[in-house]
Amino acid sequence: MKLSILLNQRPALLRQARLANVAFAGAKLADFADRIARARLAGEVRLQPAAPDAGQFWPALTALNGRQSVIEEHFDDEDLMDLADVLAFVTGEAGSEFTFRLEELAEKFLGPLRHELEQAGVEFDRPLPHLGQPRPADPR
């Protein structure tokens, strides 16, 4: 491939990479929203990013109302790292703290991603959470 061709394709490739990252973030958030709905988790939480300089090597998800043990039962360190990375990507606020209600995760963060994908003409081959509607409980 010639360098000039690659350089000419750069804008389209960057757009595709952006859409791939948006799709990945949407899928991760949908998975989190599904897990939250299945476990019927609710309440306000604070997600704090990792701060290695302060001795906090993993993000922390703290229940602001409700029991912390329930949060710890459903999310491990890797889950929290993924969630922190996705929320930083979605908001463009790397290293920021996020406070939100667990049951509103999809509505608050997934909506803009869904809109961007729809505007780009992306077809969904898997349903994403229905925003603004209660989610049915998992029959298991």
**What per-residue confidence (pLDDT) applies to 44?**
97
**What per-residue confidence (pLDDT) applies to 129?**
55
Q: What is the mean pLDDT of each run of 10 residues along the chain (140 residues)?
A: 93 95 94 94 95 91 93 95 95 93 93 91 73 42
Strands 60-63 and 44-48, by their bridges, are antiparallel
Q: Global pTM?
A: 0.81
Amino acid making up residue 5: I
Is 30 within 8 Å of 106 (Cβ atoms)?
A: yes
